[in-house]
Amino acid sequence: MQDRAGSFPHNGRSIGARPVLTSLLRGAAQKCPACGKGAMFRRYLKVVDACLHCGEELHHHRADDAPPYFTIVIVGHIVVGLVLAVEMAYRPPLWVHAALWLPLTLILALTVLPIVKGALVALQWALLMHGFDPDAEEGIGDGLPDVDPSPLPRRLDFWP
């Protein structure tokens, strides 16, 4: 289960070097950024709570809307470039454009999305973002807002 004995003293968060480029490549390959062997996703885009190979916790990620944004940018640049190139070279009718680019856009988006999400989760892990920092106290960096323990006033005394 754990291939680095003693490297998880902080509740499933490894200590030691976290090289950004290696982590990014592992994440883009949809593998655990820590060991590069365990799968990052248990379903299409569902990140595992912890790596099944090394035990690194991955549930701290906060990818949120970033993977779709980057996927749109990447796929948009590819498809728009191809559309313009084909239009300039062949000037096909509109139905040919629709038949080509709609399926290509869908296939590319569904292919690129998990790659981008894996890379972003790995980047957050490598940069110790959110709860990935092994030195962070529990509850810090988990993305949840701090709660003010003082109670709100029952009423406001605007009037004398």
Q: Which parts of this chain interact with Zn ion (CB under 5 A)? A: 32, 34-35, 38, 51, 53-54, 56
Torsion of CA 48, 52, 13, 116, to 10 degrees: -40
Q: By C-beta, is 38 or 118 nearer to Zn ion?
A: 38
Separation CA 120–CA 98 (nearest Å) = 32
Find the shortest distance in angstroms from Cβ 32 to Zn ion.
3
Helix pair 94-126, 20-28: axis angle to 10 deg: 140
Find the shortest distance in angstroms from Cβ 39 to Zn ion.
9
Q: By C-beta, is 112 or 134 nearer to Zn ion?
A: 134
Find the shortest distance in angstroms from Cβ 11 to Zn ion.
15
Q: By C-beta, is 75 or 118 nearer to Zn ion?
A: 118
Note whether 116 and 74 are within 8 A (CB).
yes
Separation CA 77–CA 95 (nearest Å) = 21
Note whether 30 and 47 are within 8 A (CB).
no
Q: By C-beta, is 112 or 123 nearer to Zn ion?
A: 123
Find the shortest distance in angstroms from Cβ 118 to Zn ion.
13
